[in-house]
């Protein structure tokens, strides 16, 4: 078996700070966490659009999309890679699979951020410990935890994919907020009340935070 202690980290010729100087803003990870249907993807995409309009380099990593490729489930992997591979590397929704999902996404987000990109992630990420472990891989101020605080009653009324209905009917087991835990952040950098405000207002609240922190410049008013 290969020895993973023989792997060496390489510094890149173009440093993070040179990329940030070129782009005119810093790289960071804006980590949206919240229940299914709370509004994570909608806010992340609205914010991405706002940043793009300001010529800021941003990207969105989104739960459902990432679970189609990098973190595909066993069912998706089986056809091309076979049963044994699918069972070993495919990710579902058990606590340990969610942990690995978040670990991989955290690593990818960190690489994006290192490349100077404002990286928006939209995953339920229900466990505090998993989110904290991602935070620990980043430098001070780089990981911005944003709690999308929408009451479950509202999420359940929205239910755009009909998943709450299925979970209530017992057709999905281990659904977050129904029969699986969601651990709300204790001291997130930001809390967004997405049951009360529209996505545009909430995206502006994040931009305001980025400006105050000096991650992006103040918007020009002229």
Ligand X SMILES: Nc1ncnc2c1ncn2[C@@H]1O[C@H](COP(=O)(O)OS(=O)(=O)O)[C@@H](OP(=O)(O)O)[C@H]1O
Interaction site with ligand ADP (CB under 6 A): 34, 36-42, 122, 158, 160, 194, 197-199
Whichever of 23 and 73 has its CB closer to ligand X, that residue is 73
Q: Which one of ligand ADP, ligand X, none is in contact with 30 (Cβ closer than 5 to 8 A by kind)?
A: none
Residues annotated as catalytic are 125
15 annotated as a binding-site residue: no
Least Cβ distance, residue 67 to ligand ADP (angstroms): 12
Q: List residues binding ligand X (CB under 6 A).
A: 36-37, 41, 63-64, 67, 93, 98, 101-102, 123-126, 161, 163, 172, 174-176, 180
**Which residue bears the tokens 């952040």?**
185
187 annotated as a binding-site residue: no
Q: Write down the number of H helices and E strands in the chain.
A: 10, 5
Least Cβ distance, residue 212 to ligand X (angstroms): 28
39 annotated as a binding-site residue: yes
Q: Which one of ligand X, ligand ADP, none is in contact with 39 (Cβ closer than 5 to 8 A by kind)?
A: ligand ADP
How, if at all, do strands 28-33 and 118-122 pair?
Answer: parallel
Long-range CB contacts (within 8 A, 24+) of 103-110: 103/130, 103/133, 103/134, 104/70, 104/71, 105/61, 105/66, 105/70, 105/71, 105/134, 106/133, 106/134, 106/137, 107/137, 108/61, 108/70, 109/29, 109/31, 109/61, 109/134, 110/29, 110/134, 110/137, 110/138
Q: Which residue lies nearest ligand ADP, judged by its C-beta?
A: 39
> Annotated binding site for ATP, which residues?
34-41
């Amino acid at each position: 078996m290969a020895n993973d202690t023989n792997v060496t980290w390489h510094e890149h010729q173009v440093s993070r700070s040179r990329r940030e100087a070129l782009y005119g803003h810093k790289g960071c990870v804006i980590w949206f966490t919240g229940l299914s249907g709370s509004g994570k993807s909608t806010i992340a995409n609205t914010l991405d659009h706002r940043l793009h309009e300001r010529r800021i380099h941003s990207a969105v990593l989104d739960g459902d999309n990432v679970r189609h490729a990098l973190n595909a489930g066993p069912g998706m992997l089986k056809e091309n890679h076979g049963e044994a591979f699918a069972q070993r590397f495919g990710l579902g929704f058990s606590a340990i699979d969610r942990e690995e999902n978040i670990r991989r996404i955290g690593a990818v987000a960190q690489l994006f951020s290192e490349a100077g990109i404002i990286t928006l992630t939209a995953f339920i990420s229900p466990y505090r410990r998993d989110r904290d472990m991602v935070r620990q891989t980043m430098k001070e101020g780089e990981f911005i935890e944003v709690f999308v605080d929408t009451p479950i009653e509202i999420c359940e009324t929205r239910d755009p994919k009909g998943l709450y209905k299925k979970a209530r009917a017992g057709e999905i087991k281990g659904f977050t907020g129904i029969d699986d835990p969601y651990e709300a952040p204790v001291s997130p950098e930001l809390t967004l009340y997405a049951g009360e405000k529209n996505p545009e207002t909430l995206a502006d609240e994040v931009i305001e935070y980025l400006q105050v922190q000096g991650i992006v410049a103040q918007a020009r008013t002229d």
